[in-house]
């Protein structure tokens, strides 16, 4: 029987709110089972780019990462945010180790090739990109990996990679060793049919009703990448996948109530 492993993803809104982040990390530190944390970047990278006068380009909500932007992303995501989260977890007696892709070669990406758009230093990954044995070695030493959204191509280049994708692909890879539950923690009660109504939580999302809801325009565009990554995970042997409100992590671990479950 495989040991339980939680892969937990947190996003920018939580990272930008120090009080909420502290509350969340208290709950995360309290998880008794083995665990991995994956974090996004928040507004800090954009704020720093503005201060330095480096223009930011977005295409369909995705950041174009030129060399100057990559330097900021590496400093902020793999540096400031990653190490602050690790420090806060150490304060809570959770023995965190902050990691980015090139550290121990845990996540190796490929530079994105697009027929029309040059995304710059953006990396795409799949299940083979993740060294699950190396990550498992860290976990077996009693360490809690904390991943930033920075990877590398083994050609000496850092790459900016979507954090939701890192969480999904890491969960898929670790499923070869552990009984994995993937949790996307964000600022809503779950997937909402009406983004203005917190009581309109859709309890379960499968590929079929995802397609139906998407065609009907009932899904906020911001939730689509999370759902696509969540569905990819459940189709690739991740045992359980949920989208939950970040403040309800402890309650979810104890009861599995609330939020949105992703199913086949």
Largest CA distance in the chain: 54
Q: Which helix (DSSP H) or strand (DSSP E) does residue 185 occupy? A: strand 179-186
* pLDDT surpassing 80 at residue 119: yes
Q: Which pLDDT band holds residue 238 (cuts at 50, 70, 90)?
A: very high
* pLDDT surpassing 90 at residue 89: yes
Q: Which pLDDT band holds residue 196 (cuts at 50, 70, 90)?
A: confident
Structure letter (DSSP) for residue 2: P
Q: Give the contacts of 44 (CB within 8 A, at least 6 positions apart).
A: 15, 16, 76, 80, 81
Q: pLDDT tens-digit profile of 49-63?
A: 999 999 988 777 677
**Predicted pLDDT of residue 61:** 65
Q: pLDDT tens-digit profile of 142-183?
A: 999 999 999 999 999 999 999 999 999 999 999 999 999 999
Distance CA 26, CA 164 (A): 22
| Mean pLDDT (whole number) for 90-105 | 98
**Predicted pLDDT of residue 27:** 98
Average pLDDT, rounded, for the chain: 94
Q: Which pLDDT band holds residue 217 (cuts at 50, 70, 90)?
A: confident
- Domains, in order of start, for the chain: 4-186 (3.40.1160.10)
Name 182's bridge partners: 7, 241
Distance CA 170, CA 8 (A): 10
């Amino acid at each position: 029987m495989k040991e339980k492993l939680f892969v937990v993803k947190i996003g920018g809104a939580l990272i930008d709110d120090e009080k909420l982040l502290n509350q969340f990390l208290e709950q995360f530190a309290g998880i008794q089972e083995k665990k991995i944390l994956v974090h996004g970047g928040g507004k800090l990278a954009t704020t720093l780019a503005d201060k330095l006068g480096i223009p930011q380009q977005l295409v369909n909500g995705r950041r174009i990462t030129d060399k100057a932007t990559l330097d900021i992303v590496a400093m902020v995501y793999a540096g400031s945010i990653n190490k602050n989260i690790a420090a806060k977890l150490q304060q809570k007696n959770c023995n965190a180790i902050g990691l980015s892709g090139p550290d121990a070669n845990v996540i190796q990406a490929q530079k994105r090739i697009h027929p029309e758009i040059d995304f710059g230093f953006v990396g795409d990954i799949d299940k083979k990109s993740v060294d699950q044995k190396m990550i498992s070695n860290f976990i077996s030493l009693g360490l809690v990996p904390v991943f930033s959204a920075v990877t590398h191509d083994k050609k000496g280049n850092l790459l900016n990679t979507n954090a939701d994708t890192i969480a999904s692909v890491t969960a898929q890879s670790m499923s070869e060793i552990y009984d994995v539950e993937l949790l996307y923690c964000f600022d809503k009660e779950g997937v909402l049919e009406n983004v203005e109504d917190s009581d309109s939580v859709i309890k379960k999302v499968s590929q079929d009703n995802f397609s139906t809801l998407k065609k009907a325009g009932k899904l906020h565009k911001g939730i689509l990448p999370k759902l696509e990554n969540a569905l990819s995970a459940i189709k690739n042997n991740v045992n359980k996948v949920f989208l939950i409100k970040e403040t309800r992590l402890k309650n979810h671990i104890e009861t599995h109530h609330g939020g949105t479950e992703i199913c086949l």
